[in-house]
Amino acid sequence: MRDVLEYWPVLTRGLWVTVWVSLCIIPGAAIGALILGAMRLSAAVALRAAAIVVIEFVRAPSALVLLFWVFYALPLLPGMPRLSPLAAAILVLALDGAAYGAEIVRGGIEAVHRGQTDACHALGLSKVQSFTKVILPQALSQIVPAFGSLARSMVKWTAIVSFIGVQDVLYVGNYIRGQTYDTVTVFCLLAALYWILTYLCGAAFRALEQLLPLNRALRAVRVPVQLAPGATVTAGAAQ
């Protein structure tokens, strides 16, 4: 154990790389999932077809295979750039997360009652206004918890980036294992670090859930209202 702890500064740098990759791919996947999920429900056939093709193309192969293809094979095509290992890792994992998250977004939007859309049309709101101001804020209460679970998985997905030379915490852990031959201690430490990262990610999404418009409205409804000395009723019942 003492030999492993001597490499703590190197392990810290690897941990920061893992955190940085996670901080890049989770927001990237969220934005991509919103776009693809909205396209999946578009009235335009071409947009729906394009979204399905992209989702299935990204989800079909293993993320590791896709990572190797983007990093090693893509630069061989004429006109294609050669990405750095870190850029390729962020691109692939964000795309993978967006493809899986798109179905979460689609399900969350479809969970909003159809009457909400009809009411928006009756009020003269455009499709964009209806989606951004009415449908999406309600759908987020369904989307965010499910996407939080996906985000925790994405933190663990970062372990594959070491296969193309990104010096994340797993890459450094394997280096330390090769130097100390203390496999059990190194991998127990890695397990603890990944557990901490996924726990913090889950806590962040639970905090985000409390800030959602629909959840705040529901909490406001449950605020006790004083009627008379010694008597209280919830705001919803008072209405």
Domain segments of the chain: what residues?
2-238
> What pLDDT does residue 229 have?
56
pLDDT at 236: 47
Q: Which CATH superfamily is domain 2-238 in?
A: MetI-like (1.10.3720.10)
First CA to last CA distance, the chain = 63
* Whether residue 26 has pLDDT greater than 70: yes
Q: Using the predicted structure, report yes or no on whether residue 225 has a pLDDT greater than 60.
A: no
Dump pLDDT digits (tens) for 108-134: 888 877 777 778 777 777 777 777 777
Q: What is the mean pLDDT of residues 19-28?
A: 95
Q: 134: closest CA among 125, 145, 144, 143?
A: 125
Mean confidence (pLDDT) of the chain: 84
Residue 84, φ and ψ in degrees, nearest 5: -70, 160
